[in-house]
Structure 1
Amino acid sequence: MTPYGRTSDPSHYLSNFRIRIYLTDASDAVRCKAFPTTLTKTTIKWFDSLPPKSIASFDDLAKKFLARFSIQKDKTKHAPNLLGIKQGDQESLRNYMERFNKACLDIQNLSIEAAIMGLINGLLEGPFNHSISKKHPTSLNEVQERAEKYINMEENSQLGEASKSGFSYPPRDKDKESRKKEDQPTEKPRKYHNYTPLRVSLVNVYQEICNTKKIPPPRPIKHKKERSRTEYCEYHQIYGHPSNEYYDLKNVIEKLAREGRLDQFLANKLDEPKKRRRDE
């Protein structure tokens, strides 16, 4: 059994010891010797302070034990104890009801009338106080059900006041979002299923027609902070990727080709090797 340390009712502790020692069929002398072994360091000092040969029997030891530690005996609680439970000025109805219900559990044979009177006495002025004073409930379950209704009203009202006062959820991490955007591919996806095969590079086409054909300006793009200094795009006029591999320029050239605005240029480019051979 748990050693006695002055925190529980000594009469209950003594009864538990008698029951346990009775099962062993121990003699009175053995009981007197066994009992001190169930005391903690703070209570064994009392036993050591007893004068020698002052204990004639276990009953004598039990009487002295109760006389010394009876002040630790649990105080019986009655209905009037509920009158001391008051709802604090800033205390929520939920918290007050939890404290009141816990106090009710410590009172045996508590009548519904006494519980209602104690509850009304401790409540602050408000809707629940007026409701329960006007129409008394008939059971503790009804008290809890009606209290829950006003608890929800109170908590919903607090949420509404918080939203009006400017309360909002924590702001999103803009830096984190911007990093995610930078990590996403910035290249515009291909616009056409098939592209016209060219015998010259996109760069050569762009260099040839950029001054004679009306080409839409490139859309702004974002790159990661670390850019390649070996790859330069003449279309966007920035470092970071080659012109030939970027679909922005591919889509522009393909649009011109499908409109027939590159036919003469392509014919000239294809005739140049033949002309060079004739000159040679």
Structure 2
Amino acid sequence: MDASPRVTLLLGSAPDVMRCASWPKHAFAGIVVINNAWRVRPDWDVLVHAGDFPPDRMPRPEPTQRIFSAAHYVPAQNSFGGFVYAGGTMSMTAAYWTVHSRRPDVLAFLGCDMIYDHSGDTHFYGTGRADPLRDDVTLQSLEAKSARLLIHALRRGTLCVNLSNLPRSRLVFPKLSFAEVRDLSAADLAAMKAELAAGIDVKAVDAAETMEREFDYFYEHGMYWNHLDEIDGADLARIDRLWLEAVEGLTAPPLEQCSAAE
């Protein structure tokens, strides 16, 4: 009998992340949390936090829990082409780190829809900063950044899925329920990966990656914000359009008007 797929749960801070509080830990090979999301449930395995995450908000980890920051995720991000092309926000950064370091069969996102135009709290803990909405040349299209992640992860054997039940998302991943992920068989996963791969426009991917190499906006230290005078936003917009074109047959059109946060 085939082994069940290894599913890693990746938690952001959107209000609906609290839906996972009662999900059994044994359904996942691991739980990776971003910034404040360590507060959602106590049995997380890895916390990946931004370099400017306030020290007074850090947890006291149990012996089995680990905490990672820039020294760990910058090299991982670099293996996928660097921050400029991957997108400089923690939902993308933590995802690339997880694919690189943990190599799950499935990376299941919750609380990472980056939709913030509704009334009420913006985060599960109240009102927070909408990081992906900041004026940043690498974040012109969050849909394009998630499309790029979807394709890069698939190449390394990881299927990205979205567990959100919200009507809109900046993530272009397939949407599954917790029950569907929990009951996913190896055969089901293989079929999903094959269907996705068949629907990707390979010519658009090749063109996007050719442009990335040509423009060479790569900064090994990760601090691309110190080189903004070297980065042409129009170049990145052209690349974004190609990543969106690559998944056009798989996804709904990008959201035109909405706010976002990790």
TM over 0.5: no
TM-score range, shorter chain: under 0.3
Larger % of helix: which?
Answer: 1
> Normalized per residue, which structure has more strand?
2
Q: Higher RCO, 1 or 2 (CA under 8 Å, sep at least 6)?
A: 2
After TM superposition, the score normalised by the length of structure 1 is: 0.17
TM-score normalized by structure 2? 0.18
